[in-house]
Amino acid sequence: MKEEFLIEDKNKFIEENLGFVYKTASFICKKQLDRRNDEEFSIAIEAFNKACDNFSKEKGNFFSYAKIVMRNSLIDFFRNSKNVPILYFEEEEGMKDIDNTISLDKYDREQEQKSRLEEINIYKEKLEEFKINFYELSKSSPSHNDTREDVLNVALLCSRNKEIMNILYETKKLPIVQIIELTGRNRKFIEKWRKYMISLIILLSSNEYIYLKSYLNIRRKEQ
């Protein structure tokens, strides 16, 4: 599910994705960060902001790119920090040091894969509450890029609207009248892409789906 939409308000976009930044930074640092006191979290936010400024569609997927920028920034921080965890072991040729914070080893990759699978299962269960499954979703997705981008931007607006979100989760149905008023889209468009739109609203309105969000390509709107 490769999608693309435009970032119009960078500060709001960063605020909405602090969960993604936190989880990514915690994974890289191999510990649960304190949002208020850990410098690593502040560095990760700065890196995410930098990723927003420097991203272009030629760089591929935005969230994947942002992870790389955050990781590189944290690595630089670790290298310049006096508190980097170092493991030492003795070998015949002497002492060697291993930067245990920086390396992404096999265990890390396995843990990330496990997290991805758990996230997919959580998303699957949430979709089932709306009587949507992955098979139906694949059949009801737009085939044209322009249409996918249009639906995605409608979903983004809906995910930021408290009234629409409350009605959606209470009734398990799209509040079509409110969406028309918010976006200016007609009823036919909303009803045609109903399942696909719901799936995106769920994704965009939660900080739980950091890996699935990485399949959404984002670029800033040209001024």
- Tell me how far apart the alpha carbons of residues 149 and 155 are, in angstroms, rounded to a whole number: 10
Domain boundaries, the chain: 3-220
Tokens encoding 100: 């245990």
- Tell me how far apart the alpha carbons of residues 92 and 56 are, in angstroms, rounded to a whole number: 49
Instruction: Output the CA torsion sign for 64, 69, 72, 74.
Output: negative
- Tell me how far apart the alpha carbons of residues 144 and 46 are, in angstroms, rounded to a whole number: 35
**Tens-of-pLDDT digits for all 223 residues of the chain?**
344 445 567 888 888 889 899 988 888 887 888 888 889 999 999 999 998 888 877 777 788 888 888 988 888 887 776 554 433 333 333 333 334 444 445 555 666 677 778 888 899 999 999 999 988 888 888 888 888 888 988 998 999 999 999 999 999 999 999 999 999 999 999 999 999 999 999 998 887 887 787 776 555 554 4
Tokens encoding 194: 């109903």
pTM: 0.58
